[in-house]
Amino acid sequence: MYINFKFLLSVLSPMLLLSLAMPVFSFEPSGGVLSLDGEDDYAILPLEEHGHIFPEGTHAFTVEIWFYPKAEPKEKDKDLILNQQVSIGLQARERCILGQNQLCSYRHAYLAGDRTHGLAGTDSPIQKDQWNYIAIIFKNSTLCHATNNRISQGWRLPRVDRVRLNIRRPWRVQDFVVGGYGEDKFVVPNGGGGLLFQVSGFHGEIDAIRFSNIARYDCAAQGNNPFDPPPRFLNDEHTLALWDFNDKEGATRFEDTSGNGKTLIGMNGATVIGGEGIGGNLEIRPDTSLTTTWGQVKSESF
């Protein structure tokens, strides 16, 4: 049985999402950032080599990212920021479910239960030419999301309780990617139950991405609560992957600082700018211990 949870959420939540406030952040990157031109560059973690980031039986997770969009999607396009079991990207104004003339970000998760599976998610307004924070949080069959300084109430999805491992997609789009696929693609997002749309590349910068196997933040009880996004992502025992892009300037291999070996490979010119690399003057990399001392600008974390 297939249920399109995205449709369900878009019916239930648009009025809720209209109330989201858009702050102006003073966030600054801690060091290097991944620079993407929106044309053909991207980063990839091949499925054949690394499998899925979330393993079988993942019942709780948080995916979070700091990103800086420099362009909006073309009409009816989606600009892909990251994609595999969770998908985050930019939604063209004409496709945003909020019905406003506002740049939106979509965030979806592929979830499953014993007898059903579905694509759950929604849209939320963001700002071009500034740093934005997004988190997707799942626990106890409840999904919520944070956008900048607000966190949403949880949506209870009783028929699903875990991340879906096998998503019905062509093999060429099963890899974990950041920034797109290197070319525009037409995609059916849920393997047969959704509308075809065009996916383009993301033009902008990414400061950090973290995947965790716990729900790091509590969903709002109702409506949208104030939220303080973490300015830095710390590595701990619940971190499955962490890319901070503080690799050496010009690097095209982006280290997974969780220690789990999920090195992203930059393609077609995707590279780090502003990075010092391990052993540089900017920072000291942490190991897997929460008690590790971070150097200089990495000292503030949670």
Range of the domain at 121: 5-299
Give tens-digit pLDDT for 71-84. Answer: 999 877 889 999 99
Contact 288, 236 (CB under 8 A): yes
Gyration radius from the chain CA atoms = 18
What is the model's pLDDT at position 172? 62
DSSP codes joined into one string, the chain: -B--HHHHHHHHSHHHHHT----------SS-EEEEESSS-EEEE-HHHH--SSPTT---EEEEEEEEE-SPPPTTEEEEEEESSEEEEEE-GGG-TT-SS--EEEEEEEEE-SS-EEEEEEEEE--TTS-EEEEEEEETTEEEEEETTEEEBPEE-TT--EE-S-----GGG-SEEES--SS-EEE-TTSSSS--EEEEE-EEEEEEEEEESS--SPPBSSSEEE----SSPPP-TTEEEEE---SBTT-SEE--TTTT---EEEETT-EEES-B-TTSSS-----S-TTPPPPGGGGS--
With 70 as the cut, is the pLDDT of residue 32 above it? yes
What is the model's pLDDT at position 278? 55
Share of the chain above pLDDT 90, in %: 60
Give tens-digit pLDDT for 212-264. Answer: 999 999 999 989 999 999 999 999 999 999 999 999 999 999 999 999 999 99
- Provide mean pLDDT across the span 33-49: 94
What CA–CA distance (Å, rounded) separates 7 from 178? 25
Give tens-digit pLDDT for 141-177. Answer: 999 999 999 999 999 999 999 998 877 665 567 899 9
What is the model's pLDDT at position 129? 95
Residue whose C-alpha is closest to residue 42's, from 274, 266, 248, 247:
266
Q: How confident is the model at residue 99 (pLDDT cuts 50, 70, 90)?
A: low
- Provide mean pLDDT across the span 187-208: 70
Q: How confident is the model at residue 130 (pLDDT cuts 50, 70, 90)?
A: very high
Number of domains making up the chain: 1
With 70 as the cut, is the pLDDT of residue 10 above it? no
Q: How confident is the model at residue 188 (pLDDT cuts 50, 70, 90)?
A: low
- Provide mean pLDDT across the span 85-102: 84
| C-alpha dihedral (211, 215, 216, 218), degrees to nearest 10 | 140
Contact 252, 226 (CB under 8 A): no
What phi, psi does 103 have (nearest 5°)?
A: -65, 135
What is the model's pLDDT at position 26? 74
Q: How confident is the model at residue 25 (pLDDT cuts 50, 70, 90)?
A: low
- Output the domain CATH number for residue 143: 2.60.120.200
Residues 6+ apart with CB under 8 A from 253: 247, 263, 264, 265, 266
With 90 as the cut, is the pLDDT of residue 287 above it? no
Residue whose C-alpha is closest to residue 81's, from 226, 270, 220:
270
What is the model's pLDDT at position 279? 40
DSSP codes joined into one string, 21-88: ---------SS-EEEEESSS-EEEE-HHHH--SSPTT---EEEEEEEEE-SPPPTTEEEEEEESSEEE
Contact 51, 136 (CB under 8 A): no
What phi, psi does 95 have (nearest 5°)?
A: -105, -5
Give tens-digit pLDDT for 200-211. Answer: 899 999 999 999
What is the model's pLDDT at position 27? 83
Give tens-digit pLDDT for 134-145. Answer: 999 999 999 999
Q: Looking at this protein, which amino acid is placed at residue 139?
A: K
